[in-house]
Amino acid sequence: MVGFLIPSKAKGHEGTLSAVSELADACDQKLRPSFDLYGDVPSKFSGRLKPFRNVIIVIMESVRWKGLGPDASAINARAPTIGKLATEGTLARCYVSIPHSSKAEFAILTGRNALAGIEIRESMKDRFPSVMWSLQERRSARTFCFSVQNLLFENTIGMLRACGIQTCIGPQELLSRSNTRSDPTSSFGESDELLLNGPRRLLADCNDPFAAVYMTLSAHYPYEYPSKYPKDDHSIESYWKSIAYLDSILGKLFAELKGGGLLEDTLLVLVGDHGESFGEHGTYIHNNSMYEEEISVPLVFWSADGRLKNSEVQTARQIDIAPSIADLMSIDDKDYLVQGRSIFRKCPEEPIYVSSFFEGVSMAVIAGRHKTIWFPDNNRVLKYDLFLDPHEQESMDLSESEHRATIQRLRAFDAYQRRIFD
C-alpha cells in the first residue's frame, strides 16, 4: 500500500516525532493513557459503580451482527443465551479492527488497532500494553486463556502472552483435562464443549482476582454442530445452526460458572471476533470485505447484579473493549496507552477504522452514519449511508475533493499504525 507522505523536513528524532504526531492528528487515532479517557469525563451511570473483582471475556468465533441484531429481542430469536444477557446488560453493535481472529483478539485485549497484513506483528514482541497486564500489576489478578482453537496457528499463543495472559490452555490440554476422546472439529481445533468443566475448576481454585478469556470455534467455517451430516453444505443456514449450537454451549457454560459462584462480582464480556460473508457483496467467509456482514459483531457487557442494564443499543469498536473494562474495574494506569475509549463514558464520537487482513485490499472509515470504503488497487472509493441504506446497496456520489480526502485519511491511518508497531 502506498504510505502517507511524510514532509521532507521531518528529519532526526524530533522530526520523526513531529511526523508521527502529524499522522495521528490526520486520522484521529493517537495513543493516549486509558485513565485520561474517563478521569474527568462523566459516566453514563448515575453514581459511582463499585469496581468488579474479576472479568471473563468470551470471544465468539465468526459471530456476526447482521442477522442477529438490531436489538436484544432479535438476538433472542436465534441465540437466546446471548439475547438474555444482552437484555440484562449493555448491548453494542461493535466494529472490528481487522476481520481476522488473531488481529481481533489483539484489538480486544489491548485497546489498539491491529496492523493490516498477514505478518502477525502482534506476536513479535515480549509485551504489548494491555488491560491484562494492568490487571496483573494493579490488582494482582491471575490471567487465563481457555481456547478450543489451535493456539500455535499464527503464533496466537505468543500474541496472548505478549498481551499479558499468564496461563494459556489450548485444545489438547483441555481435551486431556476432560478425560474424553474427541476427533478434531476441524483443522483449526476442537469442540466448544471442551470449554465446560475443566476451566471452571481452575478458576474456582484461584484465590486471587482472575481475568479469563474463553475462545470458541464452532461458528468458524465449515460451521460445525452436533447433528450436521457430511452432506450438509456450508450455507448461511448451516452457519446459523452453528450459532445456535454455540449459544447452547454458552448457556451451559454460564450456568456452570453461576453454580460455582464465579459470576459473583465478575464482569462478563461477550464479543464476536469478526463477521462472516455469504456472497452479499461478492465475497465469502472473512478477511477482506469492509461490508457490515463481515466487520460488525455483537458486544455484550453483563453482570449478575444488573448494574450494567441499558435498553439503548450502543455503537462500539473492538478497541473500546479494553478501555471499558479498565473503566469498570477502576484501573488507573498512566502507562497503559490505548486508541479506544470507554463506552460507559459520555465521550465524543470517534471515527471507526477497519482494514483488510491482506494488505492493500481494502480499508474503511465510518463517521456517524456514513461509511467510506477505499480499494487501493484501483483507487475506487464508495460511500454508504448506513441509516438509509443498511444493506449497502447504493453508493453515494462523492466529490473529487472528498474522494481525495478519504484516501489521504486512510493512508495516514495506515502509516500511523506502521509507525507505532515499529
Residues 6+ apart with CB under 8 A from 248: 81
For residue 213, what is the enclosing H or E element? strand 210-215
Coil, strand or helix at 298: strand
In order, the DSSP letters of 129-141 are --HHHHHHHHH--
Cell numbers 470458541: residue = 216
Q: Does 262 lie in the same domain as 399?
A: no
Cell numbers 490452555: residue = 169
Q: Among 312, 345, 378, give the residue marking a domain's end.
A: 345
Q: List the chain pLDDT tens, one digit each, 422 residues.
A: 444 333 434 445 455 556 777 888 888 888 888 866 556 666 777 667 789 999 999 999 999 999 998 999 999 999 999 999 999 999 999 999 999 999 999 999 999 999 999 999 999 999 999 999 999 999 999 999 999 999 999 999 999 999 999 999 999 999 888 765 555 566 788 999 999 988 999 999 999 999 999 999 999 999 988 887 766 678 899 999 999 999 999 999 999 999 999 999 999 999 999 999 999 999 999 999 999 999 999 999 999 999 999 999 999 999 999 999 999 999 988 889 999 999 999 888 899 999 999 999 999 999 999 999 999 999 999 999 999 999 999 999 999 999 999 999 999 999 999 998 88
| Cα–Cα dist 176/210, whole Å | 23
Residues present in the chain in total: 422
For residue 60, what is the enclosing H or E element? strand 54-60
Q: Is residue 235 part of a domain?
A: yes
Residue 319: DSSP 8-state: G
Domain count of the chain?
A: 2
Q: Is residue 6 part of a domain?
A: no
Domain range for 382: 362-422
| Cα–Cα dist 238/225, whole Å | 8
Q: Does 126 lie in the same domain as 76?
A: yes
Q: Is residue 320 part of a domain?
A: yes
pLDDT for residue 34: 80
Selection from 161, 177, 195, 163 nearest residue 58 by Cα: 195
Which grid coordinates belong to 403? 474522494
Q: Is residue 94 part of a domain?
A: yes
Q: Does 420 lie in the same domain as 334?
A: no
Q: Among 283, 315, 345, give the residue marking a domain's end.
A: 345
Q: Is residue 149 part of a domain?
A: yes
Q: Does 415 lie in the same domain as 322?
A: no
Spacing of C-alpha 105 from chain mean position = 6
For residue 236, the domain's CATH number is: 3.40.720.10
Q: Does 218 lie in the same domain as 79?
A: yes
Q: Is residue 278 part of a domain?
A: yes
In three-state form (DSSP H/G/I as H, E/B as E, the rest C), the secondary structure along 140-162 is CCEEEEEECECCCHHHHHHHHHH
Q: Does 390 lie in the same domain as 317?
A: no
| Cα–Cα dist 38/327, whole Å | 7
Cell numbers 439503548: residue = 312
pLDDT for residue 220: 93
Q: Does 138 lie in the same domain as 188?
A: yes
Residue 361: DSSP 8-state: S
393 exposed, middle or buried (CB, 10 Å; 0-12, 13-18, 19+)?
exposed
pLDDT for residue 39: 60
Coil, strand or helix at 282: coil
Q: Is residue 17 part of a domain?
A: no
pLDDT for residue 2: 40
Q: Does 412 lie in the same domain as 323?
A: no
Q: Among 293, 316, 345, give the residue marking a domain's end.
A: 345
Q: Is residue 30 part of a domain?
A: no
Is residue 161 within 8 A of residue 152, CB to CB? The reply is no
pLDDT for residue 348: 86
Amino acid at 138: R
Which grid coordinates belong to 19? 511526523
Q: Does 385 lie in the same domain as 312?
A: no
| Cα–Cα dist 276/108, whole Å | 18
Q: Does 410 lie in the same domain as 311?
A: no
Which grid coordinates belong to 175? 481435551
pTM of the model as a whole: 0.93
Angle value at C-alpha 117, between 236 and 416, nearest 5 degrees: 120
| Cα–Cα dist 317/347, whole Å | 13
In order, the DSSP letters of 61-114 are TT--STTT-SSHHHHHHH-HHHHHHHHHSEEEEEE-SSSSHHHHHHHHHHSSPP
Q: Does 310 lie in the same domain as 249?
A: yes
Q: Does 292 lie in the same domain as 383?
A: no
| Cα–Cα dist 124/421, whole Å | 10
pLDDT for residue 30: 84
